[in-house]
């Protein structure tokens, strides 16, 4: 019985490393989405401001 409990503890004891990798991947994905959104919106906003400045 003790060996079974020890084996279960060994299998579940390494979740911290996997969780850190998952968080790292999520942060990287969020950063890529934010950078692409800022790039697209920045270009559009710049064009709008240039149009407004030209009409003034």
pLDDT tens digits, one per residue of 9-55: 776 665 656 678 888 899 999 999 999 998 888 888 888 999 999 98
| Domain segments of the chain as ranges | 16-55
- Confidence at residue 26, expressed as pLDDT on a 0 to 100 scale: 94
Q: What is the pTM of this model?
A: 0.53
Quick one: three-class SS letters along the chain? CHHHHHHHHHHHCCHHHHHHHHHHHHHHHHHHHHHHHHHHHHHHHHHHHHHHHHHC
Q: 3 falls in which pLDDT band (50, 70, 90)?
A: confident
């Amino acid at each position: 019985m003790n060996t079974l409990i020890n084996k279960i503890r060994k299998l579940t004891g390494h979740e911290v490393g996997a969780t850190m990798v998952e968080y790292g991947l999520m942060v990287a994905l969020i950063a890529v989405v934010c950078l692409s959104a800022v790039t697209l919106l920045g270009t559009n906003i710049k064009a709008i401001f240039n149009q407004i400045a030209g009409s003034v």
